[in-house]
Structure 1
Amino acid sequence: MNFITKVLPTTVVGSYPVVRAGGLRSLLDPLRGAVETAVADQVRAGVDIISDGQVRGDMITAFVSRLPGIKGQSVVGRVQPPANPLTVADTKYALSQHSRVKGIITGPSTLAHGLRIETPNYRGREELVLDLAQALATEARALEAAGVTMVQIDEPILSTGAADLAVGRQAVDLIASVLRIPSCLHVCGNLGEVVDEVLKIQVSVFDFEFSENQENLEVLSGKDLRGRPIGYGCIASADPGVESVETVEKRLQKGIDLFGAENMLVDPDCGLRMLEREVAFQKLSTMTKAADRLRPEY
């Protein structure tokens, strides 16, 4: 796959702390400076595949606020694809600063469970999930056309037991099917109850958390990934403490022993949005240093 240009490539799950800029320019776009800061910090930390920082809202509102059929947190009509791309402008800026960028979409099941259904158009969330998938497939194609290296679909809801896994699988498969570039599915949390269903999803790459959910190593041991790489979360996104390089190396070594270094991408467990900027930057820097130190062995 075209994102694997070296052993243990580093990436991010997506979000970064929002650092607002001042000045006249911020009047036109209050969050443009935050995008620039997020991109610059990822590049400075040495991340191989960056994101746009996802600074324009939480993972739900950043998408649903501009989807026809949704008003606020309520579904008021049939959900349709957006008239214009939702994330491409910030992604294009990231691409102007770095050759490899990950496009990121919040998954249909996660979006559906963050919304209230206030229309007779949908008898339940399962129907809503599939219409959201159709709308998001349009965004995925727009990201591919912009030149991203891969498109990641974030579905944290899939590990909780709240979502219909069969419908969730159908929805993610639909989005992945429209892409010619690699697709990636990010599911955080403990996979113990859902792993078999999640691994049936037809994506190119899986991305799971392992630093704060080391049980996932046991869950995945012996599972057939069918040759698909795995994004290996080795940085604790919810912990404000910065790990040592040695700690991250030890976490990565466990993954290498199980999956093989040639099958791993190195990233944090989840997004870093809730951390202080300096903490987020230091965590990314530690991650890239740990990968750099291990890489010559493999």
Structure 2
Amino acid sequence: MTVITRLLPTTVVGSYPVVKAGGLKGLLDPLHGAVETAVADQIKAGIDIISDGQVRGDMITAFVSRLPGIRAQKVIGRVEAPERPLTVTDTKYALSRHPKVKGIVTGPSTLAHGLRIETPLYRGRDELVLDLAQALASEARALEEAGVAMVQIDEPILSTGAADLVVGRQAVNMIASVLRIPSCMHVCGTIGEAIDDILKTQVSVLDFEFSENPENLEVLSEKDLKGRLIGYGCVASADPGVESVETIEKRIRKGVEIFGAENMLVDPDCGLRMLERDVAFGKLSNMVKAAASVRADL
């Protein structure tokens, strides 16, 4: 499975600070300027696999606001795939500016736990998760057809103990199974309690936090990854300061010792949406420089 040919390719988890455009363009589409800024900043920072910036809402509302069966984060009917793709327009813009783009969908379990069920059509959240997976599989296929290099499924809920892990992995597998391109699953937090179920998902890349949760290194060092790549979070998304190149470099080298550089993609711990733009850009720029420094020594 090849995402990009160089060692230690850099990518993002997805979101970027929202910088709205003014003028007529801003009136027509207040957030397209934010997409342009997010894409331009990632390219300027030197990121190998960029995203569209995920600027059109938080990870729940950006998806459920246009899914049939959901209104105002309430499930009022059977959840189905939307008539038109949800994220493809912004993704196509990113593809027009950069050859390698990651398509991103919020995972079914995470979406389900952000919704309130107000219909007898669902006896519980687990049934909702599986219908959401069917709807998101349609979005994943549309992203693949648009030309993305990979599709990432964001499932931060899986590390919290709140979700049914068996149903969660079944739902992720439903999405991954429709793709011919590499699939990735991002899980935030400490993964020790959930890792055995996470490893049963049929994705190509497993993406975790390591700068804020270094204990994840120890957890994974004892596991068989079965040839899958690791998305290696080495920049703290929750830290409002910009880490030095040397600090990030040390974190990457720890990962190389355990996983091997050929098995790693380098990225932040999580999305950067809540940071100031200059901080987010600084983190990405220093991450790219740190990866280059480690790469030069290999």
Q: Same fold (TM over 0.5)?
A: yes
Say if 2:296 is the partner of 1:293. no
> Which residue in 1 is equivalent to 2:179?
179
> How many residues in Structure 1 have an aligned counterpart in Structure 2?
298
> Which residue in 1 is equivalent to 2:101?
101
In 1, the alpha carbon distance for the partners of 2:218 and 2:240 equals: 26
> Which residue in 2 is equivalent to 1:255?
255
1:135, distance to aligned residue in structure 2 (A) = 0.2
In 2, the alpha carbon distance for the partners of 1:237 and 1:26 equals: 28
In 2, the alpha carbon distance for the partners of 1:90 and 1:202 equals: 27
1:119, distance to aligned residue in structure 2 (A) = 0.3
In 1, the alpha carbon distance for the partners of 2:45 and 2:130 equals: 38
Query: 3-state DSSP class of the match of 2:151?
Result: strand
- Residues 229 and 264 in structure 1, CA contact (< 8 A), matched pair in contact too: yes
1:2, distance to aligned residue in structure 2 (A) = 3.1
1:107, distance to aligned residue in structure 2 (A) = 0.1
Aligned pairs (5 A) from 1:49-128:
49-128=49-128
1:274, distance to aligned residue in structure 2 (A) = 0.1
1:143, distance to aligned residue in structure 2 (A) = 0.1
In 2, the alpha carbon distance for the partners of 1:4 and 1:294 equals: 17
1:192, distance to aligned residue in structure 2 (A) = 1.0
Query: 3-state DSSP class of the match of 1:136?
Result: helix
In 2, the alpha carbon distance for the partners of 1:26 and 1:296 equals: 43
- TM normalised by structure 1 equals 0.99
> Which residue in 1 is equivalent to 2:275?
275
> Which residue in 2 is equivalent to 1:130?
130
1:164, distance to aligned residue in structure 2 (A) = 0.2
1:226, distance to aligned residue in structure 2 (A) = 0.4
Aligned pairs (5 A) from 1:222-237:
222-237=222-237
> Which residue in 2 is equivalent to 1:189?
189
Query: 3-state DSSP class of the match of 1:191?
Result: coil
Task: Show CA shifts across 1:218-263 (max 9, x none).
Answer: 1111200001010000000000010000000100011000000110
- Residues 2 and 149 in structure 1, CA contact (< 8 A), matched pair in contact too: no
* Structure 1 unaligned blocks of 5 or more: none
1:60, distance to aligned residue in structure 2 (A) = 0.1
> Which residue in 1 is equivalent to 2:218?
218
Task: Show CA shifts across 1:140-161 (max 9, x none).
Answer: 0000000000000000000000
Write the letter of the residue equivalent to 2:277.
R
> Which residue in 1 is equivalent to 2:38?
38
1:4, distance to aligned residue in structure 2 (A) = 2.6
> Which residue in 2 is equivalent to 1:163?
163
In 2, the alpha carbon distance for the partners of 1:17 and 1:108 equals: 24
> Which residue in 2 is equivalent to 1:29?
29
1:296, distance to aligned residue in structure 2 (A) = 1.8
In 1, the alpha carbon distance for the partners of 2:145 and 2:221 equals: 36
1:163, distance to aligned residue in structure 2 (A) = 0.2
Write the letter of the residue equivalent to 2:228.
R
In 1, the alpha carbon distance for the partners of 2:230 and 2:91 equals: 23
In 1, the alpha carbon distance for the partners of 2:297 and 2:187 equals: 29
Say if 2:4 is the partner of 1:14. no
1:68, distance to aligned residue in structure 2 (A) = 0.1
* Structure 2 unaligned blocks of 5 or more: none
- Residues 85 and 142 in structure 1, CA contact (< 8 A), matched pair in contact too: yes
% identity of equivalent residues: 79
- TM normalised by structure 2 equals 0.99
1:62, distance to aligned residue in structure 2 (A) = 0.2
Give runs of ≥4 in structure 1 deviating > 6 Å.
Answer: none
Write the letter of the residue equivalent to 2:259.
F
In 2, the alpha carbon distance for the partners of 1:293 and 1:140 equals: 34
In 2, the alpha carbon distance for the partners of 1:209 and 1:236 equals: 8
In 1, the alpha carbon distance for the partners of 2:288 and 2:221 equals: 25
1:120, distance to aligned residue in structure 2 (A) = 0.4
- Residues 210 and 234 in structure 1, CA contact (< 8 A), matched pair in contact too: yes
> Which residue in 2 is equivalent to 1:208?
208
Query: 3-state DSSP class of the match of 1:24?
Result: helix
Moved more, 130-139 or 2-11: 2-11
Write the letter of the residue equivalent to 1:136.
L
Query: 3-state DSSP class of the match of 2:23?
Result: coil
